[in-house]
Structure 1
Amino acid sequence: MPARAKSILMWVVVIFLVYAVVTNPDRAADVVRSVWDFLWAAIQGFGEFFRNLAGE
């Protein structure tokens, strides 16, 4: 992807995120909380996998 297109895409994403937070902060917070919960569950799953792999 050309650098100029990547820069434009990044600005569009940033502007959209700011718009989403300003227009509906409660929903934006719910989305961030859901993403965080998903990432935390994935990290815990990897930890459990490696613990089981190690034989504990």
Structure 2
Amino acid sequence: MPVFVKKLLTWGSVAFLIYFVAFRPDGAAQMFKAIGAALMAMFQGLGDFLTTLMT
């Protein structure tokens, strides 16, 4: 992927994130909360797997 396209996509993503947080703070908070819950569930599952594997 050309460097220009990568920079354009990166800055576009940052601009969208700022816009989303500025104009839809409730939606942004819910989205980040859902992402955090999903990550916690994945790591909890990995921890349970490793615990079971060690015992």
CA RMSD of aligned residues (A): 0.6
Amino acid at match of 2:2: P
Structure 1 residue 23 corresponds to structure 2 residue 23? yes
How many equivalent pairs are there?
55
Relative to the length of structure 2, the TM-score reads 0.95
Shift in Å, 1:45: 0.5
Paired with 1:12 and 1:22, the residues of 2 have a C-alpha distance of: 15
Relative to the length of structure 1, the TM-score reads 0.93
Q: Which residue of 2 aligns with 1:36?
A: 36
Paired with 2:47 and 2:24, the residues of 1 have a C-alpha distance of: 35
Q: Percent identity?
A: 38
Long gaps (5+) in structure 1: none
